[in-house]
Structure 1
Amino acid sequence: MDINTILTFVAVATLLVISPGPNGFLIAKTVPVSGRKAGFANVWGFVAAFYVHGTLSIFGISLLLVQSSQAFIIFKMLGAAYLIWIGIKALISAFETPKVTIQVTSLPDNRPVKTLTAFAEGFLTNVLNPKVSMFYLAAFPQFMGIEESTLNAYALVTAHSLVNLIWFSTMVVLLAGMRGIANNQKFKKWLNATTGVIFIGFGSKLALMRSA
């Protein structure tokens, strides 16, 4: 595999990464409320999921998933249910009436998520999305020869992960400056309502997606 092949793959992966999707909206939901550390945890969750999909694709397990309509339906419905669940939680938070107490300033109603929870959200958002495996299954034959080793396949997964890491880390840093805005109740309601609708939309789209 030469440098031109890798650069071409990076260009294709970059177009995929920067297109609007659940990852960007998850970052936008997490960082203003929970801060930079939680945002980076989301990103590392994405990366971990890519290596899971990459490994499954390299060893042919994802091919069985794509070829088996029943397995594909179960897998995509799990992913769709998870995205819709995130959306519903966000909508509930958006329309929830904040409790007025003496300590309201020290205990905001929109509680920040823990680092491990943020990592899990990033990981599950991607590992339950069959589109990632489908991308690898489509890309590997285009950018690798039959005789090439699994090491080269992991090089492509790493390139894809680095593009994600750079793009979404930049987004985290930019959004970290907005964290103070999260103390505004109107902003929190708008943010939760918007991300809730978007995640339900992504989940519904995934549920309706057909196997290639």
Structure 2
Amino acid sequence: MDLINLLTFVVVVALLVISPGPNGLLIAKTVPVSGRAAGFANIGGFVAAFYVHGTLSVFGISVLLVQSAQAFFIFKVLGAMYLCWIGFKSLLSAWKAQSVIADAGVKPGAKAISHAGAFAEGFLTNVLNPKVSMFYLAAFPQFLSMDAPASQAYLLVSAHALINLIWFSCMVMLLSRLKGLAGRPQFTRWLKSVTGVVFIGFGAKLAYLKP
């Protein structure tokens, strides 16, 4: 792979990473409530999922997934259900917080997620998203020759992971300044409500995705 191809791939991936999506929303949900370390755990989950999709693409399993309508449908539905589950969970949490204030006048505390839980959320959000595999399947032939070794494919996956790490690390550092807002019930309800609605929207969009 020559340098021009690698730089072109980096530009394409950078534009993809900075565009709004579930990963950025997950970071925005996690960091103000659970802190900087949990946000980095989210990112670790993203990166791990990219290597899973990259490996599937290298060994051709993703091709079978995309070509099999039934397998693609099952995988897509699982991903959509997971995103909607995160959304409904956030909406339920926001509704419970409002009920506590209305019924008892108690200030609700925002429940922080564990680092393992944050990693799992980041991993599942991406590993159950067939669009990642579809991206690799579309990108690899454009930037790699037919006889390219698997190491070059993993180089592209690593470039994708590194750009995600840089972009979302900057987001984590920025959002960590808002952690003090998590103790304010109005901010907590607003954040969980917006997160819930948008995640359900992403889930619905994924449900209508076609291979």
Query: Shorter-chain TM-score category?
Result: over 0.9
CA distance in 1 between partners of 2:204 and 2:110 (Å): 26
Does the alignment pair 1:155 with 2:155?
A: yes
Gaps of 5+ in 2: none
2:11 alignment counterpart: 11
RMSD of equivalent CA atoms: 1.5
Q: Counterparts in 2 of 1:2-81, with a 5 A limit?
A: 2-81=2-81
Instruction: Give the equivalent residue in structure 2 for 1:138.
Output: 138
Q: Which has the higher helix share?
A: 2
TM-score, with structure 1 as normaliser? 0.95
TM (norm. structure 2) is: 0.96
CA deviation map 1:103-122 (0-9, x unaligned): x77xx532100000000000
Contact residue 53 and residue 132 of structure 2 kept, 8 A: yes
Q: In the aligned structure 1, how far is the partner of 2:163 from the partner of 2:177?
A: 22
Counterpart in 1 of 2:194? 194
Number of residue pairs aligned between Structure 1 and Structure 2: 208
Please report how far the alpha carbon of residue 210 of structure 1 lies from its aligned counterpart in structure 2 after TM superposition: 1.0
Instruction: Tell whether 2:122 aligns with 1:116.
Output: no
In structure 2, the partner of 1:98 is: 100
Equivalent residue letter for 1:5: N
List per-residue Cα deviations over 1:137-191 (Å, max 9, x = no partner). Answer: 0000000001110000000000000000000010000000000011110000000
| Residues 66 and 72, structure 1, Cα contact 8 Å, conserved in 2 | yes
Matched residue SS, 2:100? coil
Q: 2:52, 2:147 → 1: CA distance? A: 23
**Any stretches of 5+ residues in structure 1 without a counterpart?**
none
2:57–2:63 contact (8 Å) kept in structure 1: yes
Instruction: For residue 4 of structure 1, report the CA deviation from its aligned partner.
Output: 1.2
Conserved? CA contact 1:93–1:110, under 8 Å: no
Letter in 1 for 2:25: F
Q: Secondary structure at the match of 2:74?
A: helix
Contact 2:109 2:183 in 1 (8 A): no
Moved over 2 A (4+): 97-101
User: CA separation in 1, counterparts of 2:100 and 2:199?
Assistant: 23
Instruction: Quote the sequence identity (%).
Output: 65
Give the conservation status (yes or no) of the 8 Å contact 2:50–2:132: yes
